[in-house]
């Protein structure tokens, strides 16, 4: 198994991260020099010819480790292909999900981001800005329910003088919350205007 080369694995809590890569990459074999690749090279997606091995691409993540993914090239059309590394992405996501749990617990006890960063140094170094971003990202946006207006509304009219001109401000207010439902400025307040306002 490829090692996750960090003290993270010393933590009981993190033991779930020590699962073997094979769990994620059943179709892949690991060579003696650590390359994940298919036992038999794939067929070219373009022309269907058996592809040739063509070295590897390396992916590293600081404090976690790295992997090498097999590459292939088509001897006919030159098309290139790399093995699927989604298991690597899954592994990283699993780790960062665990870190989010840390941040949530520490924030719950009002540890400032700088303090969390100092603690994380012992486990998995993270800057306070990184922690802040991860925490903010992982906190669900609060759900604000739509306002239910009660069935009782209040009608209000104000007589205003704006630049010497008489204006009328008509307002409908919700009885329960006092929130304005409608609020318009008119030149007069004859019954037609008020009817038009109420009909809106
Ligand atoms: Zn080809």
User: What's the CA-to-centroid distance between 51 and ligand 1, angstroms?
Assistant: 7
User: What's the CA-to-centroid distance between 78 and ligand 1, angstroms?
Assistant: 6
Q: What is the pLDDT of residue 24?
A: 52
Domain locations along the chain: 7-138, 153-199
Identify whether the C-beta of residue 66 lies closer than 8 Å to the C-beta of residue 36. Answer: no
Q: What is the pLDDT of residue 150?
A: 65
User: What's the CA-to-centroid distance between 28 and ligand 1, angstroms?
Assistant: 21
Identify whether the C-beta of residue 42 lies closer than 8 Å to the C-beta of residue 53. Answer: no
Q: What is the pLDDT of residue 68?
A: 92
> Greater confidence, 20 or 177?
177
Q: What is the pLDDT of residue 4?
A: 47
User: What's the CA-to-centroid distance between 45 and ligand 1, angstroms?
Assistant: 7
Q: What is the pLDDT of residue 121?
A: 92
Q: Which residues of 77-110 are buried (b: 16+ CB within 10 A; e: fewer)?
A: eeeebebebebbeebeeebeebbbebbeebbeee
Residue 37 has pLDDT above 60, yes or no: yes
Q: What is the pLDDT of residue 110?
A: 92
Q: What is the pLDDT of residue 128?
A: 93
Beta-carbon contacts of residue 99 (< 8 Å; ≥ 6 apart): 120, 124, 126, 134
Summarize pLDDT for 73-127 with one digit per residue, the tens: 999 999 999 988 888 888 888 889 999 999 999 999 999 999 999 999 998 899 9
Residues whose Cβ atom is located within 5 A of ion ligand 1:
44, 46-47, 74, 76-77, 79
């Amino acid at each position: 198994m490829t090692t996750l080369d960090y003290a993270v694995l010393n933590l009981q809590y993190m033991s779930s991260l020590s699962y073997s890569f094979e769990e994620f990459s059943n179709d892949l074999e690991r060579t003696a020099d650590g390359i994940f690749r298919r036992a038999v090279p794939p067929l070219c997606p373009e022309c269907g010819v058996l592809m040739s091995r063509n070295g590897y691409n390396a992916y590293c993540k600081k404090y976690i480790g790295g992997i090498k993914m097999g590459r292939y090239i088509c001897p006919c059309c030159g098309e290139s292909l790399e093995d699927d590394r989604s298991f690597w992405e899954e592994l990283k996501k699993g780790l960062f999900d665990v870190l989010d749990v840390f941040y949530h617990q520490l924030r719950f006890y009002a540890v400032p981001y700088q303090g969390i960063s100092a603690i994380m140094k012992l486990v998995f170094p993270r800057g306070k800005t990184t922690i802040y971003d991860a925490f903010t990202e992982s906190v669900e946006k609060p759900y604000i329910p739509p306002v239910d207006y009660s069935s009782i509304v209040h009608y209000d009219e104000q007589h205003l003088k704006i630049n010497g001109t008489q204006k009328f401000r008509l307002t409908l207010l919700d009885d329960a919350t006092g929130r304005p439902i409608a609020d318009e400025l008119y030149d007069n307040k004859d019954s037609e205007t008020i009817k038009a306002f109420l009909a809106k």
